[in-house]
Amino acid sequence: MSAHEAVEALRELGLSNYEAQVFVALQRLGTGSAQAVSRVSDVPRSQVYGAADDLASRGLVEVVESSPKEYRPVSLAAAREQLREAVERQHERAFRNLEAVRNEHADRGDEREVATLHGLHAIHERVTNLVENSIERVILVAGSDGLLPETVEESLRERAIAGVSVVVVTEDEAVAERFADAPVRVVVATREQTGGFTGRTLLVDDATVLLSVRTDDDPEPFEETALWTADTRIGDILAAYVHAGMQSGFEEE
């Protein structure tokens, strides 16, 4: 990683531009005066003092009381913990405030629409919610074990025990092992049958459909984009395609 990338990463963790540059410069120097820091960074010397003092207040830098004053970074292990705790505090503060102002109807919307979701965790949550509200049938096509977190697995188990017909289609034998003690039908399909599909398809009660695709080629955990719809014309069309796919290959035994 270059110095520029390190600065950008530190900014994402909450440091200002000057703070990040000063901290990276001090990693290169070990110990340095404002003049030395300015020389190896793009921070004017007059701005180094304030940025270094702010870093000291964050617990990331030691101030050496010499003449001229010098600055020394704490160890990377200590800095990592300081920043992690700071991010966690910001996270807790942000979501406490969001909870306080959250509209009680925020999760309610017109279900007769097509919605798009981005991000693995948001899609996990939506899949779990849709499965929990199933009444008669759930069909889930998920190529890999990583697309079945514990929350989704538990919701599938609970609905199957309640009498809902639950079918999971996957390429991963590990998925079948996870449901060995549950009334969930698992179909382990070949890559040819799934078409190498890397996302997931969910059909609930022939009226609700969710389709997702991976948005990058990195190993898991990966990002994902999905669309879902309930009780719409396009949902009916998508549901028909899901059934056609099952009939043309997944249910042939």
pLDDT tens column, 79-98:
999 998 988 888 888 888 78
Q: Does domain 3-100 have CATH number 1.10.4190.10?
A: no
> 17 in helix, strand or coil?
helix
Owner of token pair 């990338």: 5
Quote the Cα angle for 118-120-123, to 5°: 70
**Ranges 56-60, 106-110, 112-116, 206-210, most confident:** 56-60
Model pTM?
A: 0.62
Tell me: cis bond preceding 221? Omega within 30 of 0 counts: yes
Task: Say yes or no to pLDDT of 251 above 60.
Answer: no
Averaged pLDDT, 114-138 = 89
Q: What is the pLDDT of residues 19-54, one digit of tens each?
A: 999 999 999 999 999 999 999 998 999 999 999 999
Q: Taking the alpha carbons of 75, 78, 84, 93 in that order, is the dihedral positive or negative?
A: negative
The candidate with the shortest Cα–Cα distance to 199, out of 121, 144, 117, is: 144
Task: Say yes or no to pLDDT of 108 above 70.
Answer: no
Domain ranges of the chain: 3-100, 114-250
Averaged pLDDT, 173-182 = 87
Structure tokens at 104: 């009680």
| The pLDDT of residue 216 | 61
Q: Class assignment of domain 114-250?
A: alpha beta
Averaged pLDDT, 155-170 = 92
Q: Cα 154 to the chain's mean position, in Å?
A: 20
Q: Pairing state of beta strands 185-188 and 200-204?
A: unpaired
CA atoms within 13 A on the CB side of 19: 18
Averaged pLDDT, 113-120 = 83
Taking the C-alpha atoms of residue 18 and residue 24, their distance in angstroms, rounded to an integer, is 10
**Ranges 5-19, 96-110, 205-219, most confident:** 5-19
Q: Taking the alpha carbons of 89, 94, 100, 102 in that order, is the dihedral positive or negative?
A: negative
Task: Say yes or no to pLDDT of 222 above 60.
Answer: no
Evaluate whether 3-100 and 114-250 have a shared fold: no
When comparing pLDDT for 21 and 200, which is higher?
21
Would residue 188 be called left, alpha or beta, if left means φ above 0 and alpha means ψ between -120 and 50 degrees?
A: beta
